[in-house]
A and B are shown apart, each in its own frame.
Chain A
Amino acid sequence: MSAATETPKIELTGVKKAFGPKKVLDGVDLSVAKGESFVIIGGSGTGKSVMLKSILGLLNPDAGTIKVDGEDTTHITGRARDRVMTKFGMLFQGGALFDSLPVWQNVAFGLIQGRGMRRAQARDIAIEKLAAVGLGSDVANLSPAELSGGMQKRVGLARAIATTPEIIFFDEPTTGLDPIMADVINDLIVKCVRDLGATALTITQDMASARKISDRIGMLYQGKLIWQGPTDSIDDSGNPYVDQFIHGRAEGPIQMQVKLG
């Protein structure tokens, strides 16, 4: 992905978001090129999810601009928002599967409700996407509550890719899974993103996952992207915050808010 002249797929400039007195994002600048897989690392509660939700228009940033394919989408609503949304697929942190619908209708949701596709046809595509994430057609009629955590993640992934989006967001895709299942999900993410030729933005705290699925990595700390660079440069970033995070040390410049009694 060479040309610096090419319009970035996603571009954030000076994005700020506060909840009451609490500044969560404090001027985030980020640029993700078309077809790139960008991973954002950072401790819990640093605003990683808030950043994704701001790009998706689920939260309204207080300042800054967000561009998708060069189009300013910061404050668009209604039909214009719906049209931009068709470019996106998202795998939520907790899966966010609709528990009132069977698995196949979850996967086909964007096709049936969003695109108005006929149910029979949408079902066929859903079965196909389930197969792509390694689930047989026997789970299609189950309720999401009947599935294990790993299977729910896969269904969430199938739902995110069902509408063949140009951009996919993954919010902590491996959190809460055992290491083997986490690696299975990593492989699926790499495969799905490659098959779709999509641009991917992933947030995670799992360094093994970050290394495996990313082209570039950035670190979010105190509301800013304090470092970013190619994946293989992360071990000699020369940034003490990044070093502390990737080695998981309690001592360092990042102070955890732990009150000692």
Chain B
Amino acid sequence: MGFLSGIGRATLVFLAATGRLALFTARSLSHCVRPPYYPRLLVQQMREIGYNSLPVVGLTALFTGMVLALQSYTGFARFNASSAIATVVVLSITRELGPVMAGLMVAGRVGAAMAAEIGTMRVTEQVDALSTLSTNPYKYLVAPRILAGTLMLPCLVLVADIIGVFGGYVVSIYRLGFNPAAYLTSTAQYLETNDVVSGLVKAAAFGFIIALMGCYNGYHSKGGAQGVGAATTHAVVSASIMILMINYLLTGLFFS
């Protein structure tokens, strides 16, 4: 009996949490589209999420592209299929690794910061203070972050795609001694618009998830510094797992 009631309780807790998240999402979205808007805050968040994440995302993409070239060379050299490397690099980057790597890095950088900032505002009653000053916290705090996340992640991923392909190019030319012109031709040959677009759609979904989980966990944090710490961890972990899950689902949708 203890075991069964344990399962029952866990299920109820899970359902309650899912319901809370769904409600939060619906509320946030409705405030994204209804005035008043806060363009100043949106721009500030776009700069924070997009521009300030460039170094991290760029470096990640660079080394990912480089290691892809190196690794597929050691694999393909046995089959004399070295020209396939360019294709492997560009397709892996644009379809999967660009969006996923950027998503995970931004989840760590921005999702954590959102949860910590909103969480601190919650436990120090700043969120309540917003309401008493006739300002809706969903509009003022959540909507700009969600919009900025959804808009900026595709931009970041586009940059990551370019840098990643460049990383693969550098390794192939200067380390593996390929012909630059032949490499570029192979890169372009098998790349289709769909590969890039699917990656950008994924990126938009990831940006939404990162901002949503950051805001949600921050908004519902309680109990002082420890609560804010827990909210930050939750925001990053749950966003990362959801990114990987959604990536799988979207890949199934786009490429089946």
- Which of A33-41, A90-98, A228-236 lies at the interface with chain B? A90-98
B49 to chain A, nearest CB (A): 16
Which of B114-138 touch A at CB < 8 Å? 117, 121, 124-126, 128-129, 131-136
| Inter-chain contact B125/A85, CB cutoff 8 Å | no
Nearest Cβ in chain B — how far from A176, in angstroms? 14
- Interface assignment of B63: CB less than 8 Å from any CB of chain A: no
Residue in B36, B117, B125, B135 whose CB lies within 8 Å of A92: B125
Distance in Å from the Cβ of A43 to the closest Cβ of chain B? Answer: 20
11 A-B interface contacts by CB (under 8 A): A56-B128, A85-B134, A94-B125, A98-B121, A100-B117, A109-B135, A110-B133, A113-B135, A114-B135, A159-B133, A163-B133
Cα–Cα, bound, A119→B140 (Å): 17
| Residues from chain A with Cβ under 8 Å of B131 in the complex | 56-58, 85
Asked if A104 lies at the interface with its beta carbon under 8 angstroms from chain B, I say no
The CA-CA distance from A136 to B140 in the complex, in Å, is 29
Which residues on B sit within 8 Å (CB–CB) of A110? 133-135
For residues 29 through 47 of chain B, which have their beta carbon under 8 Å from a beta carbon of chain A? 36
Give the distance in Å from the alpha carbon of A110 to the alpha carbon of B133 in the complex: 5
A59 closest partner in B (C-beta): B128
* Interface flag for A53 (CB, 8 Å): yes
**Residue numbers in A under 8 Å from B125 (CB-CB):** 92-94, 96
Given the complex, which residues of A lie within 8 Å of B132, measured CB to CB?
56, 58, 85, 88-90
Verify A113–B133 contact, CB threshold 8 A. yes
In Å, the complex CA distance between A53 and B131 comes to 11
B136: shortest Cβ distance to chain A, in Å?
Answer: 8
A237 at the interface (CB under 8 A from B): no
Cα A57 to Cα B132 with chains together (Å): 9
* B residues in contact (CB < 8 Å) with A: 36, 117, 121, 124-126, 128-129, 131-136, 140
Residue of B nearest to A92 (CB): B125
Q: Which residues of B contact A82 (CB under 8 A)?
A: 134, 136
- Of the candidates A58, A89, A114, the one whose C-beta lies within 8 Å of that of B128 is A58
Report the minimum CB–CB distance from A113 to chain B (whole Å).
5
Q: Does A115 contact B (CB under 8 A)?
A: yes
Contacts of A58 in B (CB 8 A): 128, 131-132
Residue among A98, A115, A116 with the most chain B CB within 10 A?
Answer: A98
**Chain A residues whose CB sits within 8 angstroms of the CB of B121 once the complex forms:** 98
User: Which residue of chain A has its CB nearest to the CB of B125?
Assistant: A96
Other A-B pairs beyond A56-B131, A57-B131, A109-B135, 11, CB < 8 Å = A85-B131, A85-B133, A89-B132, A96-B128, A97-B129, A98-B126, A113-B133, A113-B135, A113-B140, A115-B134, A116-B36
CA distance A57 to B131 in the complex (A): 9
**Distance in Å: Cβ of A106 to nearest Cβ of chain B:** 9
A114 in contact with B129 (CB, 8 Å):
no
List 7 A-B pairs, minimum CB-CB distance, nearest first. Answer: A114-B134, A96-B125, A110-B133, A96-B129, A90-B132, A113-B135, A92-B125
The docked-state distance in angstroms from the alpha carbon of A88 to that of B135 is 13
Measured in the bound complex, the distance between the Cα atoms of B136 and A213 in whole Å is 32
Query: What is the CA–CA distance of A21 and B119 in the complex, to the nearest angstrom?
Result: 25
From 180 to 211 in chain A, residues with beta carbon under 8 angstroms from any chain B beta carbon are none
- The distance from the CB of A4 to the nearest CB of chain B, in whole angstroms, is 30
Within 8 A of B (CB), among A60-113: 82, 85-86, 88-90, 92-94, 96-100, 109-110, 113
* Chain B residue contacts of A56, Cβ below 8 A: 128, 131-132
* Contact call B129/A98, Cβ cutoff below 8 A: yes
Q: How far is the CB of B12 from chain A (nearest CB, A)?
A: 14
**B133 to A114, Cβ gap below 8 A?**
yes
What is the distance, in angstroms, from A239's C-beta to the closest C-beta of chain B? 32
